[in-house]
Copies of this chain bind each other. A is one copy, B any other.
Amino acid sequence: MGRLSVNLCGVELDNPVIPASGTFGYGYEFAELYDINVLGTFSCKGTTLRPRFGNDTPRIAEAPAGMINAVGLQNPGVDRVIAEELPRLKSVFRKPMMANVSGFSVEEYAAVCQKLDREPQVGWLEVNISCPNVHGGGMSFGTDPAQAAAVTRAVKAVTAKPVIMKLSPNVTDIVAVAKACEEAGADGISLINTLMAMRIDLKTRRSVLANTTGGLSGPAVFPVALRMVWQVARAVSVPVIGLGGVSSAEDVIEMMLAGATAVEIGAANLVHPYICRDIIAALPEVMDRYGINNLRDIIGGANP
């Protein structure tokens, strides 16, 4: 057990650093750049029941200290993920991976998870409940504790793997959503997904995004993410994965002090492709600087 290791829902991670869903593909683009086995694990592109092209383009915009995306869950669908992506990944990644799952109805979530449950490469299911709920008026599953619980229960019923519910920050009371997921059986909580945002192009007088709005991520959201991790980690007893704007070893430690057992890194991968590797390499020295022997000792270690 190294200085960096943490235990995420019963599975030991060599370190808490996890590339976030949607910013690391299915892993092998980055495997061309560095040995991705240095990672704790990684969360794959959000996978849905059917293949999706996603939203129209443009679906990326620049923001102060961040970016907005409206990719809209482009993915080949769970069957091709299992048939093509996972086998391809096997040759470059020998650790359990985190399967990120999305859906537009409770049944869809369950169907995708049931299929992924059979895959030995999948270590955790990360269930993204910020997608719009087509049967529930378009608001996301993640904005209503009762619906969040319903998704959690449906997924838990079809899988023996640890289920991590990934929450949307676009809510009044993040603790209520987290607790509802925990009570419904979630094995962990990850947060935050993106903050709903928009930019208008002054020349065209239209949204920069074809989808009108999109999700803000990157350093800009870090203080909001940290606050939510802090609130949720104190309210639930399952592990919390912290993410949102993390881009340095110091940020990883700050998230862990706030209560995160592991830390995901999203947008930063897009701009600095080696950042996860570099953060893992930098952690021991930064830990020394702040008198930290083992990362697992500091989880939730901050005082108000």
Contact = CB atoms under 8 A, between A and B. Distances in A.
Interface of A: 61, 63-66, 68, 139, 143, 170-173, 195-200, 202-203, 205-207, 212-213, 216, 218-224, 226-227, 230, 245, 250, 253-254, 257-258, 290, 298, 301-304
A144 to B, nearest CB: 8
A98 to B, nearest CB: 25
A196 to B, nearest CB: 6
Contacts of A203: 290
Contact of A171 (B68, B172, B253): B172
A302 B205 CA distance: 5
B223 A199 contact: yes
A304 B197 contact: no
Contacts of A253: 202
Nearest to A254: B200
27 contacts: A61-B223, A65-B66, A65-B219, A65-B220, A170-B172, A171-B172, A195-B223, A197-B223, A197-B226, A197-B227, A198-B227, A198-B230, A200-B226, A200-B257, A200-B258, A202-B253, A202-B257, A202-B290, A203-B290, A205-B257, A205-B301, A206-B302, A207-B302, A212-B304, A216-B224, A219-B220, A220-B223
A66 B220 contact: yes
A303 B226 contact: no
A55 B206 CA distance: 42
Closest 4 CB pairs of A and B: A197-B223, A64-B219, A65-B65, A220-B220
A216 B228 CA distance: 13
Given A171-B172, A198-B227, A216-B224, 12 more contacts: A63-B222, A64-B223, A65-B219, A66-B223, A68-B223, A198-B223, A198-B230, A198-B258, A199-B254, A200-B254, A203-B290, A212-B304
A257 B63 CA distance: 17
A148 to B, nearest CB: 12
A212 to B, nearest CB: 4
Pick the most buried of A63, A202, A203, A207: most chain B CB atoms within 10 A of its CB. Answer: A202
A224 B206 contact: no
Contact of A202 (B196, B200, B223, B254): B254
Contacts of A257: 200, 202, 205
A66 to B, nearest CB: 7
Contact of A64 (B213, B216, B230, B245): B245
A104 B207 CA distance: 38
Contacts of A173: 139, 143
